[in-house]
Structure 1
Amino acid sequence: MVKTKQWAASLGIDVEDALPAIADYNEPTPRTSQEIAIRTLILHAIAATGYGVDPGPIIEWLIDQSIWQYASPAEQALMKSTTPTDEILSEACWRQEAQWALLWAINKVDSLGLPTQTCDTGSLVDDIMPGLGDSIEQFVSSARLRQPGEILAENDRTYNLHCYARPAIRQGTLPDDLVYPVLFQRYYAFEWLTGTDLWDGVQTDT
């Protein structure tokens, strides 16, 4: 079966790991670097909950760092739940892929590439994100938003891949090395990043 790189190239989609910025595009995103950084922290907490980390200390940490209020209603409900379903926990685990995309947007990840593998969880936990109980001040203050042309290029690629992936799934022609949950989470993240919807209300129609 054709691989993602060949499939994407045949559709006119750029396949480089790091895309060149779209020239002369200067419209800023509606989100600030601080807002994006806080969202990655919330997603980090959600993924940890999905992987079975006790949410009690996570909630205490988010409250202590004054960002608990930035967790969406659905996210707060998950972390407070005593009986989350396996499906909800699985979806929570995948949120680290949305987190990875947003970390790229604030220059804490070098490149995204095609959605053919999951993010580097080891680097995410050990090198990028603050540890549970640590101050988030340096992490948030050091976030630097990429240039609008860079974000637009990656957003366009993700959107186009998602548009083509949906019918390919129905037709059974999706490349076998394309990890659709990774693509979907990136798409969700970019829709939030470039729009004004609240996190729970992001629309994913293509």
Structure 2
Amino acid sequence: MTERDTRSAAEIAERIVGLTALLVRLNIELANRRDPAAGQAHLENFHAWLEDLRIHRLLSPDEQTVIGIRLGELTDDLLFSLNWRLQAVAALLWSVGRLDTMPPYDRSIPAAVVQAELPIFKPIEPLVRAAQRRAPSTLREEQARAELWHWRARMHLLELQGMSPPAGDTFQAAVARGVAGAASRGIIAAVRDGDIDCDGTAFGKLPDAVWRDATSSIMERHYALNWVCGTEDWDEVSTHT
């Protein structure tokens, strides 16, 4: 993997800014539900920030569409799904050294940890100038780790949905093979009962609410790292496992 195979530090930092704008718009929508007057005031400040710093140029087409929706008209489903983008931002922050380590994949990264690094209503140049992209080999290794976790989460979902594995195979055996292979390559640190070890619990035995939350976080990190290590436009990134 060469330097040209990954996004530059500036590209990643600017993508963080675009996602910051999206997340701010979502939070303004929530604030508007509590206090419409405050929501409108926040929206005016938001648009001034976008215009003053020319942030519109850093938004993906889908983000531009969402930000253009009238205040009060973002649906609950859209708010819920897009709020998970915070976890993608965390992976991007890690990619340019703003987070020292990638937090465990079996849990969401706290919003406060991510928000503390974002230029919310602030100049964006300090973030762009300070960005130091990690080595391509390090990024690719983390991408493989995210893909492995995403694969494991999808296998668990297929099993819960009652899907059948290929003839002559079982989900348990397929997981054990995949996890053992990942462990041998150093992609995961520990194995428990033929599964990924999640701080003493096999992934497949995590409580329902925990694994569902983890799965959403894993998918977003995988998405972000595929973008960092790929060439697709942000809105077109795939997360095949």
TM range (shorter): 0.7 to 0.9
- Asked if 1:74 is matched to 2:62, the reply is yes
- 193-202 or 56-65, larger mean C-alpha shift: 56-65
1:90, CA displacement in angstroms? Answer: 1.0
Q: 2:218 aligns with which of 172, 175, 183?
A: 183
* Aligned position for 2:45: 57
Aligned equivalent of 1:110: 100
Which residue number corresponds to residue 6 of structure 2?
30
Out of 111, 114, 118, the position equivalent to 1:124 is 114
What CA distance in whole angstroms lies between the structure 2 residues aligned with 1:104 and 1:29?
18
Paired with 1:45 and 1:115, the residues of 2 have a C-alpha distance of 25
Distance in structure 2 (CA, Å) of the matches to 1:65 and 1:157: 35
Deviates more, 1:181-190 or 1:159-168: 159-168
Tell me which residue corresponds to 1:46.
22
TM-score (norm 1): 0.79
Deviation at 1:131, TM superposition (A): 3.1
Query: How much has 1:115 moved relative to structure 2?
Result: 1.7
Deviation of residue 85 (structure 1)? 1.4
Q: Distance in 2 between matches of 1:41 and 1:174?
A: 37
Q: How far apart are 1:99 and its partner, in Å?
A: 0.3
More helix by share: 2
Q: Determine which structure has more spread, i.e. the larger CA radius of gyration.
A: 2
**Residues 188, 204 of structure 1: 8 Å contact kept:** yes
- Report the Cα distance in structure 2 between the residues aligned to 1:171 and 1:201, rounded to whole angstroms: 28
Partner AA of 1:49 in structure 2: R
8 Å CA contact retained: 1:162, 1:183: yes
Q: Are residue 192 (structure 1) and residue 223 (structure 2) matched?
A: no
Any unmatched runs of 5+ in structure 2? 32-41, 161-203
**Alignment-mate amino acid for residue 12 of structure 2:** I
Segment of structure 1 superposing worse, 194-203 or 49-58: 49-58
Displacement of 1:48: 2.4
1:56/1:78 CA distance change after superposition, 3 Å: farther
> Shift of residue 27 of structure 1?
4.9
| Letter paired with 1:199 | W
Q: In 2 relative to 1, CA 171–107 (structure 1 residues): closer, same or farther, beyond 3 Å?
A: same
Instruction: Flag the structure with more relative contact order, 1 or 2, with Cα contacts below 8 A and sequence separation at least 6.
Output: 1
Check the 8 A contact 1:158/1:187 in 2, yes or no: yes
The answer (yes or no) to whether the contact 2:24–2:120 under 8 Å persists in 1 is: no
Q: Deviations over 1:137-191 (max 9, x none)?
A: 1111110000112111111100111122212112134633441110010011011
TM-score (ref. length: structure 2): 0.68
Matches within 5 A, 1:150-189: 150-172=138-160, 173=204, 175-176=206-207, 177-178=210-211, 179-189=214-224
Q: Deviations over 1:93-126 (max 9, x none)?
A: 1101000000000000011132222223223323
Shift in Å, 1:62? 2.4
Question: Distance between the aligned counterparts of 1:152 and 1:59, measured in 2?
Answer: 36
% identical aligned pairs? 28
Count of matched residue pairs: 180
Could you tell me which runs of 5 or more consecutive residues in structure 1 were left unpaired when the two chains were aligned. Answer: 1-24
Separation (CA, whole Å) in 2 of partners of 1:185 and 1:34: 21
